[in-house]
Amino acid sequence: MIRMGKLKYTMRLYERDTLYDLDLDPHEQVNRIDDPAYAEKVAEMRERMLAWYQETADWVPNRKTCVSTVVKRGRCQETCPHHRFP
């Protein structure tokens, strides 16, 4: 998730990305990710998020990494929000 001024962008792995204009929509009810008026800002925020992932070596959890973690450690990485393992 990244905020730039009044905009809040969240990059999703398994769902649609979200963009909220917090001035117009403080309760985050209207996803403006496909609104052409915000296309330039979405591209900029997406690039910043990807750069941050690369600079920090942060990883995005996915089923393959979670399953391999379960096999090695017996549990999902940091209680992964994407998968529920007993």
The CATH number of whichever domain residue 59 belongs to comes to: 3.30.1120
Does residue 83 form part of some domain?
Answer: no
Tell me which residue range forms the domain holding 52.
Answer: 2-73
pLDDT of residue 13: 79
Is a pLDDT exceeding 60 seen at residue 67? no
The answer to whether residue 80 sits within a structural domain is no
Q: Domain total for the chain?
A: 1
Which of 40, 29, 55 has the alpha carbon at shortest distance from 4?
A: 40
Burial 9-41 (b: 16+ CB within 10 A, else e): bbeeeeeebbbbbeeeeeeeeeebeeeeebeeb
Residue 81, in any domain of the structure: no
Residue 72: is its pLDDT beyond 50?
A: no
Confidence band (pLDDT; 50, 70, 90) for 44?
A: very high
Residue 32 belongs to some domain of the structure: yes
* Residue 33 lies inside a defined structural domain of this protein: yes
